[in-house]
Structure 1
Amino acid sequence: MKAALASVTRIRDIPGAIAALGLTEKDKSWLARIQQRIDKTKWDSIVGWEVWEWLKPHMPKFAFFGEYELLPSKINLTDLANRVTQAQTWKAQNPDQPARNAPKVFESQHRGVLALLRMADISVEDFTRPSGYEPLKARLESVSIQLTDQILEFWKQNEDLEVEVDIKTDPSDVAPFNNGPNLYLRIKNRRHRGVSTPFRQRSRGFTWFFSFLVWFDSVQHQLEGNRELRGRDLILLLDEPGLNLHALAQADFLRYIDDLSTKHQVLYTTHSPFMVHTDRLHQVRVVEDRVKVGTVVSDTVSSSDPRTIFPLQAALGWTLAQNLFISERNLLVEGPSDLLYLKALSSILETMGRVGLREEITIVPAGGLDKVVTFIALLGASGLKLAILHDYKGRPEQKLEDLVKQKLISPKAVLDASQFRDLTSLGKSGRPSDTEDLLSPGLYLDYFSRTFEKQLGGKKVTETDLPPGDRILHRIESYLAGAGTPLRPSGGFNHYAVASKFVSDPPESVDPDTLARFEALFRAVNTLF
């Protein structure tokens, strides 16, 4: 037998190769098993078919979502039942026909409502049975609670919403809604004392998110109901999900995708920077339509078309902007000079064993009071802890008071420089003051003179040289204007240059009053956080 089988390269050729041989009973039993393997398939490769049969139960099922069907605000259940009957009748009469040849009796709204009823374990036939309204109402209320809990787990834009599903008749409505029971889908807003609105009158983003949850639950139900597919891994293919969602809602949907990915593989396409996890750029694949090549999918962005990688650049830009606030606790100041003085004095105090600014508090220079107000208005609701230290002009800042009235920031978190200038009345706003006024005049003027030594011709400016006034910066600028010594074409002088000199060449000793002012300031800020 070995000689007869020596030239055989396929299992299918084995019976013919040994047909003329005298076989033992053991050989005949072996040949019968070979013939059984051959009879199971028409594939040329028996081994190839056997490998495929082993792999097939382990192959994941693909589910593609390209058109996202929205649920309606209401639908007539009698009409829906008739459509279900039409579809079932056609299937019974045409058992060998593929589903794609069936007449189009269902529109997207019908499929959506059927999915919703499936979640409540209700069939369309239940509405024609004499069991009554109450059992169906109870099940619908149950699915309403389930849907509310599910959507609010991920939808954080308004957590005062409730889903309300009801059934009732309305003979005065237009056809087909005047014939039998209608199913109504409404959204109740607890924020407005429970006022409810028809489902489709909510924002398109919310209706899309809600419809997707219902639709996907239906897909999972169908997979579990199919014996061949039950328990199979599922790969979800989503084409441009979240198009109708604004930036923060897209972030909510990303969290939902993350939740799905614990059970299923999820692949989605997007042009939106807000649908990109910037901490998982290794998962991103760039899709390009290259001339004379065609569609190319790669993980290389260095050679990609700028238009293709723009969403990635925008996503990184957004992340960088968010990370300007690198801690939960942030002290907003008007300019970089303030940051330098606060950092320098905090270090000096800490080396002396006194109170400096806590490490976890980040000082953020906003670039002027107007921008400080904008920062608070835009980011005050982002879960960040914010405080403000601003220059004081001798009267309350209306823009800051408006933020307090709008409850965007606590009044205790709005500090000004004058509150720490007079050591006998700390915490009370007094005369007009800048952060520089917390330094003793002699200390500030020493660094001013050293910074502009060349322009001043080596002159050491002292406080007796300055005109009277409350703010050291204004007094110096008035002095320069009167002395005819411009330090820059636009007048005045570069405040940042002095602060930079202070930080790069810190003083060997600082007078007690200056230290006491800044220590009081740091104590106040630390207490706020």
Structure 2
Amino acid sequence: MKFEGFQVTNFRNVIDSGWINANQITAFVGQNEAGKSNLFEALYCLNPIDDATYDLDEDWPVDKWEGRKDAKGKRVCWALFSLDGDEIEALYEYAAIKPEAPAEGSEGGEGKSPAKVSLPTEAKVSLAKAYGYRTDFHLRGFDDGILDEDKAAEWMQEHTPNFVYIRDYEMSGAQIELDQLKQRLDKAGGQRHKLPNEDQTILIILDLANIELQDFLKKGQSSEGRTIRSFDKRSASRYLTQQFAHLWQQKDVSFDIEIDGPTLNIFAEDAGIGMPVRLHRRSTGFRWYVSFAWKFTHATNGDFKDCVLLLEEPGVHLHFTGQRDLLKVFERLAEHNTILYTTHLASMVDQAHPERVRIIESRDNHVAVTQGIVSSQRAPMAVIEQSLGLTGDHSGILGSRQVMVVEGGGDAVVLHKLSGLLKAAGREGLSDKIHLWPADGASKTPMYAGFAIGQGWDAGVLLDSDEAGNKARAKIDELYVSKMAADSGQKFRTIMLGKAAGTKQTDFAIEDLFPPKFFIDCVNEIYGIAIKPEDLPEDGSDMISKKVEHVLKMRHGHTQLDKKRIMGEMWRQFDTWKSVDDLPAHTAGRAEKVFKAINEAFGD
């Protein structure tokens, strides 16, 4: 089933969140105490992996306390899942009301088949839960009288993904006395959620190893039992290592659960080192990953699929590169799960997917949710601005300028160099009113465009005329431009570089402003080879970089073209150009057309 979204009402500081659409991966961005956790806790109780439920005494909004006496039955959360074609058929097969066979010899009964039922093309499962009641499952899309309601309810409860809520990740990795753990568990009445996070994690480890705590302690009281227990812990160590490898791919790590009497230690060993280290001596970020991996393994029975994963501030203990790796892990997990996570880290906001962002604000002390990357409040927007490279008062400066988003810093350098030379010769360059704002590739430009539109800036975007540029243009139009009110007076320009340069090439990037020989010479200088223009393929993309890359792969054994190195050589050539007459052939004319198109688009 595909998770479509949810709504929370009457829960702590959430009076009404409004409907919140969910992507396969959705990031909830906001300051501390804004209410992100409240949204997740309310959603989790809707279909949890354990017996979590709402507590009227704790969860009813304090500023509506006078209505608490009548709160039983008031809905707290509802959510929607959509079924695919196979699931619709499976549900029908399980819950269909079978027509009674006609009595033998009855009129018209002999040889007559039951009428074929036309199944819906769309069907949805809605879940709702109120104070004092269990979750209600309701099916939408099927006509009345087709399904047995009780059997349909059974199927929905069995197949609707559970919500998995992980918020306490950190574990110290210190040794644990299992007999003392058993005493604490007994004192808590066997209710794990009342134990400290460290104790809960150790119990999860034992569960994953199919080890029952009391039985494990009993085995330690005899030599035969200790022998069996040694096999248990070896099996557990191997399994935990395998499961951890699914989520941690920075390097190979193996785990060893060591038990001496009632004392449990966990060791971690990096491949190639040959010496295990107690877990508590590893970094906080590593222990965070260990805790996350094993809790997720436990929640999904080791399958890593078919759940809605709710993560509180994932990656907060990780280095920047670890956070970016975690986003890649999310992409892999999202093939079979839905992931919702909260964050206040700019590095945990994926610039390539602005549609995944939900801004969480606090308005009149209540939660308000904004779909997109624009908020009137400073705190949540600080995260977005930092993600986009805006620091200090840069945002304010850009807001008073005309802003043109370009695909990267290299594009900005090229355009500024060419503009300067053209202006010095009395020809048309980029208007002084227009500020070039570099993104980090074409896929990231929709994030920048959405921010500029949301802030009401006088802005536009310049994209390469290639597949990536065309995808970015489509996303910008779908998410933002198409939704701009016609009477708002705001305008956003999307300019494709090839059309602006007046070229007939199908594909056209910033380096195509120069003649092919100039780019080839830069490549030859960097790689120490001698590619000739006649070596370039005639078929495929007509972008010079793609043609040269093809030759590098086919004839010279390189895996790809390192455009950063090539751009560095181009910049070295730029330093030798003192006037427009020094530019390679046709460059000035193409560049001038581009600047004219940009200036005219901004009304200059």
- Scaled to the shorter chain, the TM-score interval is 0.3 to 0.5
| Larger RCO (alpha carbons 8 Å, 6+ apart) | 2
More helix by share: 1
Instruction: Name the one with the larger strand percent.
Output: 2
TM-score, reference length from structure 2: 0.41
